[in-house]
Structure 1
Amino acid sequence: MNISVLSHASVLSTHAGKALSLLRIVAGLMFMQHGAQKLFGFPAEAMGPFNLLSQMGIGGVLELVGGALIVLGLFTRPVAFILSGMMAVAYFQMHWQFGTASPFPLVNHGELAALYCWVFLYLVFAGPGEWAVDNQLSRRRRF
């Protein structure tokens, strides 16, 4: 086995916490866009009028606020758990039934819902990474 490959792997592993933070931040920013679209018609036009207390309205609030909390790394695990469940519901409720009722995300246009579901579920177990408000809060509680 090539020794240089092993040394590169250990160097890369030292940055795993930072990479996890970047995954969390980018996923949160992208997720927030869905909420902003539903609530404010930005950055893309809203898909239609909706009631804030409807399932779509509550989803928009969860996307915007939950996405912001994910970006900050604040309450990461519980928020990610809620958002993962929300995306699982979205997939089975909105996409599985889409047109052909196919279970394949590419066919039923559920790729984003499925991917967000799994990314958020990963954050439940992996935590927020190095750059997170959660880390600052846990350090303060130790002292």
Structure 2
Amino acid sequence: MSEKLSAYQPQALALLRIVSGLLFVHSGLVLVFDIPASIYPPPPPETATTLLIAGVLELIGGALLLAGFLTRPTAFVMCGMMAVAYWGYHVPTSFFPANNMGTAAILFCFIFFYLMFSGPGAWAVDNRKGVQDEPAGP
């Protein structure tokens, strides 16, 4: 069973990358264009610039991940962004993710951390460049 499932590892990794990219594009659309309209009250005015920058990063980063283009560097930036989001914006409310609404930030941080090391999986523009990853190991 394990061998049969392992045969689909590149496709499963691609689905993780694609769904994460789609979710980030969606989040960026909400932050930058309010599409679809948010059901939450508007954020305080002093956070407008930070949220606009986050939204632009999410739109661009999400689109790059969705296409599987520049996957590793994009995942590096997005991983750092999610770490900053959690420690800078969620933790001051409460340390515990269930209380500070930071669960998604932690999950995205570690998904992007994984993508930095694993690469894009199947169905990625990165795979069409003709550059093969070097074999793992020392």
Secondary structure at the aligned position of 1:17 is classed as helix
Question: Could you say which structure has the greater relative contact order, defined with CA pairs below 8 angstroms and 6 or more residues apart?
Answer: 2
Confirm whether residue 39 of structure 1 aligns to residue 32 of structure 2: yes
RMSD: 2.0
Alignment partners' CA distance in 1, 2:54 and 2:74: 13
Alignment partners' CA distance in 1, 2:76 and 2:101: 23
Where does residue 61 of structure 1 map in the other structure?
Answer: 56
Alignment partners' CA distance in 1, 2:56 and 2:26: 11
Alignment partners' CA distance in 2, 1:32 and 1:20: 18
- Alpha-carbon deviation of 1:106? 1.1
- The 8 Å contact of residues 73 and 134 in structure 1, kept in 2 or not, is answered as yes
Alignment partners' CA distance in 2, 1:123 and 1:44: 30
Where does residue 68 of structure 2 map in the other structure?
Answer: 73
Structure 2 unaligned blocks of 5 or more: 133-138
- The alignment covers a number of residue pairs equal to 129
* Runs of 4+ residues deviating >3 angstroms: 46-51
Q: Structure 1's 138 and 77: CA in aligned 2 closer, same or farther, altered over 3 A?
A: same
**Structure 1 length normalisation: TM-score?**
0.83
